[in-house]
Structure 1
Amino acid sequence: MSGCEVTEPRLRSVLPFEAVPAEVRLLRRAAVAQLDRWGMPSAADEAELLVTELATNVVKHVGEGVSATLIIELRGERLRLEVHDKSQVLPSPNTADCYSECGRGLHLLAALAVDWGTVLTATGKAVWCEISIGPGQVCRRMERAVEVLEGYQGSGREARLRGSGRHIGLEESAVELIADLLHWTAARGLDPDDILDRAQMHYEAEADAA
């Protein structure tokens, strides 16, 4: 279970998993850790419950051991959770015996999510839901990094780039900023490699925290 991509203007994490109870537990922890990295721990409890139900429904109604994927995506003030599997049988909450037939998953989606639905894909289907994270719950670390890089970029450029050019410009500024910081540490008698190692250890400790 691995894989995370951060795209602008959205934050997006892709987590493949195997539909077995042990993997569902790991998936739940991975989702919570991802929200923590994005600076949204307040959304963790609700997201953890919904991820558990979405993944458990794959185990129960698609088949234990099948391959599936969880996608977590930040869309403005909503957090979207999608579970993709290879079955094209869409669950329906409209039958009289839906609770026993579908389990509690769809009922929780309807009760907790701002919106939810199902969609057929080229390889199967996706069941998705969105929860409100409210204003001010966007990734604080990412925002701080962008602010710093835009300011650093502006000091050496006449105009700020837009669109895909802006993304490339921020990457170049990140490289230049890191290089300048290493020069700064060396000028003060510090070991640049040690600084990089400590920064990497700090990042990994936060990334692995559940």
Structure 2
Amino acid sequence: MYRYSVTEPHPRRCILPFTAEPLQLAGLRRAVRAELAAWGMQTLVEEAQLITTELASNVIKHVGQGSVATLVLDASTDQLRVELHDKSDKEPHRLNPTCDEESGRGLQLLAALTPSWGTIRTVAGKAVWCELPLAPDETRRRIQRATTVMETYGLAVGSPTTRLTHRPVLEESATSLILDLLHWLAAQGLDPDDILDRAQIHFESGREVA
């Protein structure tokens, strides 16, 4: 499965072309999870995966197995937009919510999970879209800022793999960034231990509030 991901400039965008086959669904879900985790949007993973499964299943059942389609993820500061593009101009079918797991629970999921969704005609066919709002809380903003910092840091040190979600890579990159910050604080005549203690206090306080 080819994957095109753009993080700079914002908004972030990920384009996932795929063939509408049942075996492709698990790979699409994994790709959605990986991309949203890299963007600091883990809270939207489950909803986005459900929507992806339903939209892709609808293409398989009603456009045709083996047809070419594209999943697009667009993230702005306040919402995630999910689009499924195919080459048919047929309106999406509203499936029965009692259908099997791989077919999803029907497009009724879209109305349940997002306040805004619809269909638009494209030059090649159509796109079914929906938007998932991001709650404007401080933790989310901090995670998004940290995600941007980690990506920029990876480019600065010649290691763009910091965007990957592999735990060892993230741990090593985060440790390296913190180490650089400690050296920078010391060079400014500040006490690194004091800054770390203050940051830990604020972090623990924020977790208690949440």
- Same-fold call, TM cutoff 0.5: yes
- Contact between 1:84 and 1:126, CA under 8 Å: does it hold in 2? yes
CA offset at residue 75 of structure 1?
2.4
CA offset at residue 143 of structure 1?
3.5
Opposite residue 53 of structure 1, the aligned amino acid is: E
Moved over 6 A (4+): 100-103
- Contact between 2:38 and 2:165, CA under 8 Å: does it hold in 1? no
Q: How many residues align?
A: 160
Per the alignment, residue 99 of structure 1 pairs with 96
- Superposition RMSD in Å: 3.2
- Contact between 1:38 and 1:141, CA under 8 Å: does it hold in 2? no
> CA–CA distance in 2 between the matches of 1:141 and 1:114?
28
| Percent identity between the two aligned chains | 39
- TM-score (structure 2 length as normaliser): 0.65
Q: Does 2:79 align with 1:119?
A: no
Opposite residue 82 of structure 1, the aligned amino acid is: E
Structure 2 residue runs without a partner (length 5+): 170-210
Q: Deviations over 1:60-96 (max 9, x none)?
A: 1110011100000112311110000000011265xxx
Per the alignment, residue 48 of structure 1 pairs with 49
Structure 1 residue runs without a partner (length 5+): 150-173, 179-195
- Contact between 1:119 and 1:125, CA under 8 Å: does it hold in 2? yes
Per the alignment, residue 181 of structure 1 pairs with none
> CA–CA distance in 1 between the matches of 2:164 and 2:113?
32
Per the alignment, residue 27 of structure 1 pairs with 28
Per the alignment, residue 71 of structure 1 pairs with 72
- TM-score (structure 1 length as normaliser): 0.65
Change (3 A) 1:207 1:29: farther
- Contact between 1:14 and 1:69, CA under 8 Å: does it hold in 2? yes
CA offset at residue 203 of structure 1?
4.8
Q: Which has the higher contact order (CA 8 A, sep 6+)?
A: 1
Q: Deviations over 1:137-196 (max 9, x none)?
A: 3533344369x89xxxxxxxxxxxxxxxxxxxxxxxx97x54xxxxxxxxxxxxxxxxx5
Opposite residue 8 of structure 1, the aligned amino acid is: P
> CA–CA distance in 2 between the matches of 1:90 and 1:5?
29
CA offset at residue 106 of structure 1?
1.6
